[in-house]
């Protein structure tokens, strides 16, 4: 693929990738978003209903 280059170690194994961001900025955004999502899988979650109630209580949105 044009604009994508792999970096290999002494054994010829791929260890890194270089992405031409002028050509593939959208691809990089997808990769980055995926990495962030995977990193956050263990974070506590709140339901949408809970968040809405909290924002109403803080008078940041109308109820």
pLDDT of residue 63: 82
Q: Where are the alpha helices (DSSP H) in the chain?
A: 21-39, 48-57
User: Would 20 be classed as within a structural domain?
Assistant: yes
pLDDT of residue 6: 97
User: Would 62 be classed as within a structural domain?
Assistant: no
Task: Please tell me the total count of domains within the chain.
Answer: 1
- What range does the domain containing 24 cover? 4-57
β-bridge partners, 14: 8
- How much is the average pLDDT of 51-63? 94
Encode pLDDT of 8-49 as tens digits: 999 999 999 999 999 999 999 999 999 999 999 999 999 999
pTM listed for this prediction: 0.55
pLDDT of residue 33: 97
User: Would 49 be classed as within a structural domain?
Assistant: yes
Dist. CA 8–CA 53, nearest whole Å: 52
pLDDT of residue 37: 95
Dist. CA 57–CA 63, nearest whole Å: 9
Dist. CA 38–CA 12, nearest whole Å: 28
User: Would 9 be classed as within a structural domain?
Assistant: yes
| Distance separating the N- and C-terminal Cα atoms of the chain | 51
User: Would 13 be classed as within a structural domain?
Assistant: yes
């Amino acid at each position: 693929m044009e604009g994508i280059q792999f970096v290999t170690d002494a054994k010829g194994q791929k260890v890194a990738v270089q992405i031409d961001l002028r050509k593939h900025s959208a691809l990089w955004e997808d990769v980055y978003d995926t990495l962030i999502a995977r990193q956050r899988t263990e974070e506590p979650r709140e339901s949408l209903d809970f968040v809405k109630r909290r924002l109403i209580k803080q008078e940041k949105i109308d109820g």
